[in-house]
A and B are shown apart, each in its own frame.
Chain A
Amino acid sequence: MPKPLTITTPGDRQIVVTRDFDAPRDLVFLCYSRPELLRRWYGMPDWTTHICEIDFRVGGKWRLGQRSPDGYELASQGLYTAIVPPERIEQTEYYDDNWTQGGTVNVLTLTEANGVTTATMTITFTTPEARAAAAASPMATGMEIGFKRLDALLAEEQAS
Chain B
Amino acid sequence: MNPSEQLDATFIALADPTRRAILARLMEGEASVNELASPFEISQPAISKHLKILERAGLVSRSASGTRRPVKIEAAPMKQAVDWLEKYRKFWEASFGRLDALLATLQTPINIDKPSKKKDEPDA
B interface majority secondary structure: helix
Chain B residues with Cβ below 8 Å from A44 are: 91, 94
Bound-state CA distance A146–B93 (Å) is 13
Q: Which of A5, A40, A42, A146 contacts B89 (CB 8 A)?
A: A5
Q: Is the CB of B97 within 8 A of A2?
A: yes
Q: How many residues of B contact A (CB 8 A)?
A: 36
B35 within 8 A of A: no
Q: Which of A77-85, A88-96, A129-137 contacts B (4 or more CB under 8 A)?
A: A129-137
CB neighbours of B109 from chain A (8 A):
none
**A12 at the binding interface (Cβ < 8 Å):** yes
CA distance A144 to B10 in the complex (A): 21
Which chain A positions have C-beta within 8 A of B96? 2-3, 5, 19, 21, 41
Contact: B87 with A140, CB < 8 Å?
yes
Tell me the bound Cα distance from A42 to B52 in angstroms.
41
Enumerate chain A interface residues (CB-CB to B < 8 A): 2-3, 5, 7, 9-12, 15, 17, 19, 21-23, 27-28, 30-31, 37, 40-45, 128-129, 131-133, 135-136, 140, 143-144, 146-147, 150, 153-154, 157
Would you give 10 A-B contacts (Cβ < 8 Å), ordered by A?
A5-B89, A23-B107, A30-B106, A40-B102, A43-B95, A132-B8, A133-B8, A135-B80, A144-B87, A157-B97
Q: Which B positions have Cβ atoms within 8 angstroms of A? A: 3-12, 14-15, 80-81, 84-85, 87-104, 106-107
